Structure 1
Amino acid sequence: MQNKYSHRRPMSWGERRTATLPRRVQQVSRILLQSLLSFGVPHQAPVGMFRTECLDRHFCLVVKSGFLGSMFRFDIEGASGVHPVSGRRAAQCGYTVLLNPGGDLVLRASYLACDVDSQDVTGPQLLVWFMNTEPDGSESAYPFLLTCPLPHWSPREIVCEENYMEVSARKPTPPLEQRGLEWMTPPPLGSEEGGTKEWRVVFSVPAENPSALSAMREETLSLKEAQLMGYHVNATGTRIILRCAYSAPHAYVMQEKGVILEVISATVFYRHQWTLVMVDTSLACGMHKGELDGSYILWRFPQLLPPLVQVPFEDKGAAVGVAGSFLSDCELQQRGYRLSVGDGVVVIGIPFGADGGSLKSHVMHGQYSQSYSIDLFYMHQWRDAQWDLTQHRSFRPLWTPAVPRTPSIMNLTVPAEGVFSVSLGAFPPDVSLTHLTVGGHVVPILDAEEFGLLISHVPLPNGSHSYLLQVPFSHHLVLQKYLGNRYRRYTLQVNFTLLLIPHGETFSHPASVVCELQDVVFPKIKAQCTDASIRLQLHYGNLETQWWLYIGSHRLEPELVDKGGYWLESGPGYLGVEVPLFGPGMAYEDLSLRGLVASLVVSVMDVDTGIAEHSYIQRCTFPLRELMVCLPDGRMVVLVDTAGTFPPVDPRHTSLLDPSCKPQDSDHSRALFSFRLNSCGTTVSIEGNNLVFMNEVRFSPKGQPAPNQFTHLSYRYRQPIGCHYPINGTREMLIYKSRAGAQISPLTRPRRSLKGQSRWLSFIRGNVSCTPWCGLWR
């Protein structure tokens, strides 16, 4: 059957069909004219607010929830007038009004309902008015002329709707040889005037005496009496109809294969051409409300309904649908629905949360829970001794209690992209994300982007939705841990807080996502020599927050920078450090006429493990004019500058107090001496707690006798030199520099030991010498 509706504007109804059905046009025009007088000017339906559909044997009109006013209703207009759809009359006349899980208003009307105009050519038609109270208190009317294709009726059709039971059976035709004769003697009808006045309905109900075997008692009602008791009995040109609400006066309950049935056993009698005709209009509807079995909701229905079947019985198959529409076998398989028959019972299994149903959220004891409901539609067909084909349709709303559900977390992260992608959900429409907590920081959804977090709302085809959280690995709230071999572990710890609408309950769900990636770029160190310092440039790499920078054995800290005279420069992606020649961390390896050879060891150490992952050594030769070094092993190394003296002094001919102690090396203006303090005429004296070793660099012109300590000859050049050592204590290296010509600002006294004869390793503090040399200390 091709499902198609049409709803037309009232002003164009007279334009519909003028040539093919003139009588029908006149009827519709007359009804519309009366409607205009009753309701006033009708309103045109807004686009997208209404949906019409032809279901199996039913009209369907849906009004979107957002369009509903404070009060609303459906009115049905037909030959008998205008009637609101509500209460007992709705069930008796074949109308069902409900709110679907999305909050939309749904009208479902049987093709055989009251006021339906059944056309043998065009199919059934129904005029519906939707009455809506607007925000200003006024009432608006929206008319819909619903038209569906002509259905192909089976000999007997039974419908178990949510609020009523209905049976329609084909009118029997008496055999030719028995026409004009009575089929029953005596007939249960009087000789009243023709029409439905002569109709009778005979109900069979269980006898009050339970001891009687198969005891059923009968009760005969006229049509008027039946209608007063809530039964609707009517006929079309070809069919007899009986309809009533559940729990009708003559309904009784029985159990078949463990399934509760509500049954009405009824027979309609009427006169046809002086022949008494009877039609079995019995009804039986399954009352099973469904049950939750693991992850499936199960609904059971007996394969054979004894009140409706006369053996022999032949099963003609079954079909399953949702909300009045059948599903194909492919759709059933895709949704995971199951249909099985065993021990005379049909069992339909629907996965919890499957498409076609609706989820509702709850919070129970702080835990997120869900209940599931679905409007099941089931049709069973059979053939028996009485009817060539019976179609039995059931509309059954099924629902489950609230079941704890752990929200789903999916890690969609692609490590190479450097961004965490975490999906939360899916959730029904009644759940909304309000804020999240990352690394102890509470971030409202509206502020997430400003905070560097990207949260996306992802609608899903089945009406649910999920949330996608994206956080860069480099975000300051992402935990990082270096694992070695350039591998790093990124950890995102987040707590989602969600709100149930409209109840306002909240719940939280934590998530921790970990990604390990070989992406570590170690810090890179560059260095260059200047005249008086070593300049370092540390390029951070991408682990800058997990490393300590060591200059020699000193960790770079504000105190070291202040006291050591370091100069810092911060640039994009790097840190610049300038270490002065005599600053802490410098190591001195050699002193020659070319200058002082100093080295600087820079290490990058892992904060957690204390392991130096990367080291760099920079060596520089600093040109010097004068320098004096006192070594802890009792040696002195002195570089003197004779330039600027007058008359000129030839450094090659200089000596110490012992004239035999000549320069180790010299050039045209400088002389380098290296000697032990117990040689070369060195004198020793005590000053307080110190031993003072003194010597002197002298120059005598060539050809002049060399003076000695016993003579009083004068020298053209004399430069006192000396070392101070504590009497009791460790001898340490001291470096002195001449005040005259000092081009390097006083910085530190070295604290390093010397390896061998020419390598110094550490600095110490010392007092300023009283000689023309000043100690450089830190």
Structure 2
Amino acid sequence: MSVVKVGTYYATPHGLKIVDLTAACPTGGVAFADGMISWNIPRYITPLLDGRVKILEMHMGINGQRLDKAQMVSRGYTMSSKQYHIVIELPIGSPDGYFKSHAPDYQYHLTYTVEPMLELLWTAKDSQSDTRYKVFFPITTPLMLWYPEIERMFKVWFGTLLHDVNLVNITFSNGVLSVAECNEKGFLQEQKYSNGSKIYVLQVPFSDDVVLKHNPEPLVTGYFLPLTYGFMVEPEQTPFSYSLAVDSSLNDVAKVTMRSLVLPSVFGTCDDSTFSITVEYGSRGRNFETMIGTQMLTPELGEAYGLTENGTHFSVSLPYTAMDIAFELFDSFYVKARLDLLLWEPNNNWSLNDFSLACNFPLTTTKCYSNGTMTALSMKVQSVPNLVPGQLTLREKSCKPTFSDDRFAYFSFNVNSCGTSRVFFENYLLYENEISLDYSAKAYTSPVEPEFRHTVSCYYMVNDTKTLTFDYKPVVNEPTAEIGTGQLMVQMRLALDESYELFYQTQDYPVQKNLRQPLYFEVVLLQSGNPQLELILDNCWATLQEERTSLPRWDIIVDSCENLEDRYVTIFHPVGSDSRVVVPSHFKRFSMKMFSFVKDEKVLKDQIYVHCDAVICDSNARAGVCSGQCRRSTGVEKPFHAKGQRVQRSATSSQWQISSGPILFTAEPLT
């Protein structure tokens, strides 16, 4: 936006009156892409309009005439309101505009011109007055190169020949084609006259592989068609040939040179935070290199910028804060950023397209707080290439950035510090400071190095009163945490030996063990570091089948204790802290002897599965199953088991259920 402010002072019988006039006109915000014109107008037209207003009406027009919705739809116009901009889109070639011919460098070009209008009506929230704002903005597209429609085909007439001569074949640069093969490709036509004579018409498209091509210049392609006709005189079967040399004077080689190469084209648009770029390959495909800013577009950079591509084009999307984006200028509410993109052909080092897109992006660089704090964001602009943001200071050189990097410097300071000036006006107070480079601290070799100065300002109302209410109530109850729910995981593993350092993995099952060889199990509570939790093994048993409820069943641990009725009693192993065990109460270890199920003195199956019910307890609540591993009160009656046998027990639904993989019984020792 370009803003003009005029203050008029004139005397009246009652004193001096001041009239402030302000005009704000858009100067940019236009983009061209995919046959559309996009006009972006800021929603907040400072200083005409700020956040304390309400927009009542918003209209679009053409040539000063307002359009209704039906007219806009019929002509393909759209108007939308975004967070920071009002966006008007018009198709290039709409009936409300006009085309104009141009011929720079003796080449035919077109431009399209249209004059959209935006009309706004808003009211200030702290007054009853309405403001109507109307802006007319003529838009002319860049020059568009226009190519004439060309048939792009060789046409050669050969004749006149007598009726006793027949064409047999034609020799091209890449081989010989018979008459039938030429007809299949649509190359050849035979035209006969009433006296029996005839001519042959050859039509070959430039795109066919029999045509030779080369590019003497980036925009010029040469097409060459060397050919030889093979004839036969009937009925003697006498052959002869004719090598055709055709140009404007009919010698040597048929040659046509024309401007037919379509170069890659680049289109770009911007939204509130992003550059979106599309590159169309042109007639030669993607035979070029791409540079964005100062970097080559590599696969890694393309992944960072969301590269998508197909056979005709590719697209990238860059945030305006990307390192390959240059900052041109900024003020308190926006930053103007520019993307540069270069396409070139590496073999001949030809520049195919040098594209640049500059857009304004909303950015609040200065903020004013009611407690007297100002924050300011300054940035490195392209016009000061040697600027180091970390060396910027406020008026007092001791006031340096709170944060800085290669592109930004962030300041936070009180309005009564760092040399901030103060000016009183009728109903507001202006605080102002300046961010600049301390040139006395660094000597620059370039005598034309431009100065960097960034003025930051804050306005405070002097006749505005704000009331804050404070109240308190005595605390009746101490704050308590609500009971939450979540998921915990319990895992059972089979160790290789009693050291519990190495464990069998999933791919190791089924594990083979000898009869009465010890099995070392470890059960652990995962995903928790709470030392107040304790893992208790309530019941463990073995089955023939993987299903934990299958029969027969052999008890190993009953009511958190070893099964004393078993001839080979289960042994609990203590767990101490080490590099792997952080909370010992989250671990339980026990060992048992390998056995097999027997019926009528016969082994039922040579494998077993071990299952456990685990309970997670609060270590501060010692009751029931949470009394500890095998520490239940003596008053609890334990179930009776027949001596030397395993009996089935039921598990409560509140327990965690875990199982091992299959463990195979081997009759002979393992080697």
- Do they fold alike, i.e. is TM over 0.5? no
Q: Output the TM-score relative to the length of structure 2.
A: 0.29
Larger radius of gyration: 1
Q: Output the TM-score relative to the length of structure 1.
A: 0.26
